Amino acid sequence: MTLKSYTGLSAASYDLWFGDEGFEDVEFFRDAIRDGGEPALEVACGTGRLLVPFAREGLDVEGLDLSAEMLGICRRKAEEAGVPVTLHRAAMEEFALDRQFRTIFVPFGSFMLLDDLDKARRALSCFRAHLEVGGRVLIPLHLPWLRDVGVEPATPGEWRLRRVATRPEDDAVVRCFENTTFDFERQVQDVKLRFEVVLAGEVIDVEENEQRLRWYTQEEFADLLGEVGFSDVTVLESYTWNPAEADSPRFTTAAS
């Protein structure tokens, strides 16, 4: 299994846009873990946006990710914060750890990076095998095309500037462009990403990579969980403990 993204500039610039603790999922997962949800495993933990602060607060949370570069950044941040963290480099659809967990969570829609149903089933089976009795998985999902169809309509295939930030170490400007297409039949979104680093008005580095996201309706995902043996499935509204509205495009599935 190789990664087409979350390497090189994509990994190195991740924290420029997503590194702080200001996202609305932080409280949700913190409460879930604190409230009898330890030990926890963050699947696709990346650079430790959640893992490092949670570990700093003393929560028993381990991380798993496929990208050596994302894990390297996470490890460095944990060292700088002076907290020990246990990180596993593995694919979420095929891992075997010698510990079971009370909470397994996959933040930021990262489960959708599994681009077909077979991988999705294998990942859910892995999660189930690593859950303590009474433990639960928490998997937020969304309909990725809504932003492009409704909020920011785009011509399919158009390159659009999505993010800009200044790199603190050298004041270079890092730009991320996306070129997105959708296949509504297969429920996949293909995103080409282009990263550019501009220093003193000159482009000094460029990198392109790609991602495919597979999306689910609430019912489809609940059925998938049922298929692999989860029996108690609840669909929550976004990052709250309230039941999701039937047509909500952002929901978190909790299952035991």
Ligand X SMILES: C[S@@+](CC[C@H](N)C(=O)[O-])C[C@H]1O[C@@H](n2cnc3c(N)ncnc32)[C@H](O)[C@@H]1O
Binding site for ligand X (CB under 6 A): 3, 6, 18, 44-46, 49-50, 65-67, 70, 91-93, 107-108, 110, 113
* Beta-bridge partners for 199: 202
Element of type H or E holding 198: strand 188-199
Distance, CA of 202 to CA of 256 (rounded, Å): 52
Between the alpha carbon of residue 10 and those of residues 91, 178, 196, 235, the distances in Å are 18, 12, 10, 31
Whose Cβ is closer to ligand X: residue 33's or residue 91's?
91
Whose Cβ is closer to ligand X: residue 27's or residue 219's?
27
What amino acid is encoded at 54 in this protein? F
Quick one: DSSP state of residue 74? Answer: H
Whose Cβ is closer to ligand X: residue 34's or residue 88's?
88
Distance, CA of 34 to CA of 176 (rounded, Å): 35
Q: How far is the CB of 174 from ligand X (least distance, A)?
A: 17
Element of type H or E holding 75: helix 68-81
Whose Cβ is closer to ligand X: residue 198's or residue 212's?
212
Whose Cβ is closer to ligand X: residue 31's or residue 219's?
31
Q: Which residue is nearest to ligand X (CB)?
A: 46
Quick one: DSSP state of residue 225? Answer: H
Please enumerate in sequence order all residues whose Cβ is within 8 A of that of 240, keeping only pairs 6 or more positions apart, or say none. 28
Whose Cβ is closer to ligand X: residue 92's or residue 176's?
92
Longest dimension (CA), the chain: 57
Q: How far is the CB of 199 from ligand X (least distance, A)?
A: 26
119 in helix, strand or coil? helix
Whose Cβ is closer to ligand X: residue 66's or residue 131's?
66
Residues present in the chain in total: 256
Between the alpha carbon of residue 45 and those of residues 53, 148, 197, the distances in Å are 12, 26, 25
Distance, CA of 142 to CA of 145 (rounded, Å): 9
Q: How far is the CB of 168 from ligand X (least distance, A)?
A: 19
